[in-house]
Amino acid sequence: MKRVFLAIVAMVITAAAHAQIESPVRWSYAAKKVSATEAIVYLKATIQKDWHIYSQTVKEGGPSKTEFTFTPSKDYAPVGKTVEPKPITKYEDVFKMNVGYFEKEVMFSQKIKLKSAKASAVTGKVEFMVCNNVKCLPPDEVEFSIPLAK
């Protein structure tokens, strides 16, 4: 009986080790103050080989697009839309439409109006979906806090 119990424990531990959560996208952030009243924040996605994330401009009915939400603040405000480079565009049978996506890495940027000298960081979240040629992972949400250099 003891051997059976130990065998079951060993199988559970082995299965848990193989069932690690996939996380093929790593986010990094930076900011550059361009004047006393303006900054640009940079949000970079580094994407593992054979995976991709989708553009902010994916149309309804397609995969989950990348979306940035900036936390409302009395110290700063986003100006305009978050800028992205030109995506790779390809027809995807699964969605029956052309979709824009990014591989390897992509840098998004957002202009920020500084309303106060006290503004020390820009906060918010990014929501995105990552896929490869075999599967898509459920949409993910990552919070960020980007320090503003003085």
Q: What is 23-147's CATH number, 2.40.50.140, 1.10.760.10, 2.60.40.1250, 2.20.25.90?
A: 2.60.40.1250
Residues paired with 28 in a beta bridge? 44
Q: Whole-model pTM?
A: 0.83
- C-beta separation of 54 from 63 below 8 A: yes
The mean pLDDT of 10-31, rounded to a whole number, is 66
Any idea which residue has 């093929």 for tokens? 24
- C-beta separation of 95 from 61 below 8 A: yes
Q: In what side-by-side order are the strands of the sheet with 67-70?
A: 67-70, 121-128, 140-147
Count of C-beta atoms within a 10 Å radius of residue 15: 9
Q: Does residue 129 or residue 15 have the better pLDDT?
A: 129
Average pLDDT, the chain: 87
SS3 10: helix
Question: Each residue of 81-102: pLDDT tens digit?
Answer: 999 999 999 998 888 999 999 9
